[in-house]
Structure 1
Amino acid sequence: MSEIKSWSFWRAVLAEFLGMIIFIFMGLSAAVGDPNDLNLDREIKVAFAFGLAIATLAECIGHISGAQLNPAVTLGLVTSCRISILRALFYMLAQMLGAVVGSAIVYGIRAEHIDSLGVNELNGISPAQGFGMEFMLTLQLVLCLVAFHDKRRDIGGFAPLAYGFSVTLGHLAGQVVFSSMGCRSPTRDVGSIQLDPLDLQLYRRLSMITGYVLSLGLQVIQIVTDVGSLVFQVYWAGPMSAGVVAALLYNYVLAPSDESFKEKTKILLCWAPEQEQECETEPLLEDVVE
């Protein structure tokens, strides 16, 4: 718990917030784009926009927060016992807020003829099939992230490039199922928001994006509706469950770790010696000796 008292912790949370704003802004700007673009050209443009954005941000803030920029990735890393539960919760909150702010910026500067922010829609398939597609797309992404966060490996400066390729791959593959391509991140579906102050459905739509942390109360109402249930099943349950499965698959099947359960528990609760040392760096709250 002592990590919350350090400046490095809050800088990392801020990095996730700002990184998500930039990521969503760049991606949605490309998704909105020119309505006269050919469908194939638009799909390739959007895929590379998201991929290049994540690679750039991974280089910019990777050394600060890990540039996770995805609640499914964060959940995968906490399942892998790479970060503490407290850090994961703050990261997810920052990512969700950043996604809403990023989409609001795009909406505010969009051309007048644009009334949507690249809404993701199922392309003639059932919610169960959409769940399966989101699960597979997120599985490869989180496997990639968990692998290059493995301290036993040394991939040098190629991590941002690998992250960008994985995101691009997922967007290109997702176009088969989703009219605006797969999202693989619950916050990516921020494109479904139409930020009209007079829209009476705004709060329900925001609940689709901010999910577990920001809209816990609204989820109960949301899930009993068809649209709410669809968004939860496909764009939340799919990626988040894939994040957990990818972490378990890598850490217990593909590349088992030698760390004991006690050591992993210490990391989750920020009791590990290396994390305690980090927490003591640049303290936010100084001990007062009377």
Structure 2
Amino acid sequence: MKTDYAMDEMQKKTGSILGLSDITENKLLWRQLVAELLGTFILVAIGCAACIAIVESNAPKTTSIALAFGLLVGSIVQVIGHVSGGHINPAVTAGLFVSGDIKLLKAVLYIIVQNLGAVAGAAFIRLAIPDARVENAGLGLTLPGPGVSDPQALLIEALITFLLVLVVQGVCDARRSDLKGSAPLAIGLSITACHAAVIPFTGSSMNPARSFGPALVMGDWTSHWVYWAGPIIGGVVAGFLYRFIFRISKDGESGSYDF
């Protein structure tokens, strides 16, 4: 009897982590996957176009790209957030997995379609923009800046993605009663700030899919591992931190508003 009970408990825990019901019972899953694919497609397509266009303009490069990506992500999350959560980023999905907000199988599917969307977005812009301009700007490839080593770039990418995922966790926490304003705007502003700070050092990816799409289309894998390892590490650390330290344990419970 004890063995049977232990087996039942193990199966329950395994099912809870894997999230089989998300695959077998969730009739909206296909819509969520389409939303993530489309959102990442738009992010990479327009984001890469912004990186290409800025090369030939007189606008400040770092500021313009930072604003483009921040406003773009905020807009996309506003549109698809109610469908899929608006992750559009494997590092965000990884962070939400370790915090318990998404199950493993669904997270894996999200990451797959995010990368498919990123490749499609990069390929679309590669076809839509003249070859000379694409080659000159590198299709928005993310690379360590001059004098920046791969380990240094990894630390920077981990830090900025840590901030992004922490902001996502905080503004999307349904247990908080103190939240005001726009969650998509807060997420977009965090991306703008991080891009403005570190574009010269790493290109400010914060998103493995955003780096994967252009790298695959252009066939350039220089330092590409950095743009997976750094953001995933930062996202996972943020997910653990929010789950075990910052998350409100009960509805309405907050130590910051007792004065």
Report the TM-score range of the alignment, normalised by the length of the smaller protein.
0.7 to 0.9
Does residue 47 of structure 1 match 2:39? no
Unpaired runs of 5+ residues, structure 1, are 197-201, 209-226, 260-290
> What is the root-mean-square deviation of aligned Cα atoms in Å?
2.0
- SS of 1:75's equivalent in the other structure is helix
Partner residue, 2:233? 241
Note if contact 2:48-2:122 (Cα within 8 Å) is conserved in structure 1. yes
Matched AA of 1:97: L
Matched AA of 1:120: T
Note if contact 2:114-2:209 (Cα within 8 Å) is conserved in structure 1. yes
Deviation at 1:192, TM superposition (A): 4.2
Partner residue, 1:111? 130
Deviation at 1:34, TM superposition (A): 4.5
Q: How many residues align?
A: 226
- Structure 1 Cα separation of the partners of residues 214 and 81 of structure 2: 28
**Match of residue 153, structure 1, among 176, 198, 205:** 176
Q: 1:77 to 1:34 in 2, by over 3 A?
A: closer
Does residue 195 of structure 1 match 2:183? no
Matched AA of 1:125: V
Partner residue, 2:161? 138
**Match of residue 46, structure 2, among 20, 23, 26:** 26
Matches within 5 A, 1:3-82: 3-5=22-24, 6-38=26-58, 41-82=60-101
Unpaired runs of 5+ residues, structure 2, are 1-19, 252-259
Note if contact 1:117-1:194 (Cα within 8 Å) is conserved in structure 2. no
Q: 1:29 to 1:81 in 2, by over 3 A?
A: same
Matched AA of 1:55: G
Note if contact 2:175-2:248 (Cα within 8 Å) is conserved in structure 1. no
- Structure 1 Cα separation of the partners of residues 188 and 151 of structure 2: 27
- Structure 2 Cα separation of the partners of residues 61 and 239 of structure 1: 22
Partner residue, 1:284? none
Note if contact 2:45-2:121 (Cα within 8 Å) is conserved in structure 1. yes
Deviation at 1:79, TM superposition (A): 0.4
Matched AA of 2:51: A
**Match of residue 163, structure 1, among 168, 179, 187:** 187
- Structure 1 Cα separation of the partners of residues 217 and 105 of structure 2: 31
What whole-Å deviation, never above 9, does each CA across 1:100-147 have from its counterpart, x for those lacking one? 000000100112322120222212111111111001110100000111
* More divergent stretch after superposition (122-131 vs 147-156): 147-156
Does residue 257 of structure 1 match 2:249? yes
Matched AA of 2:97: V
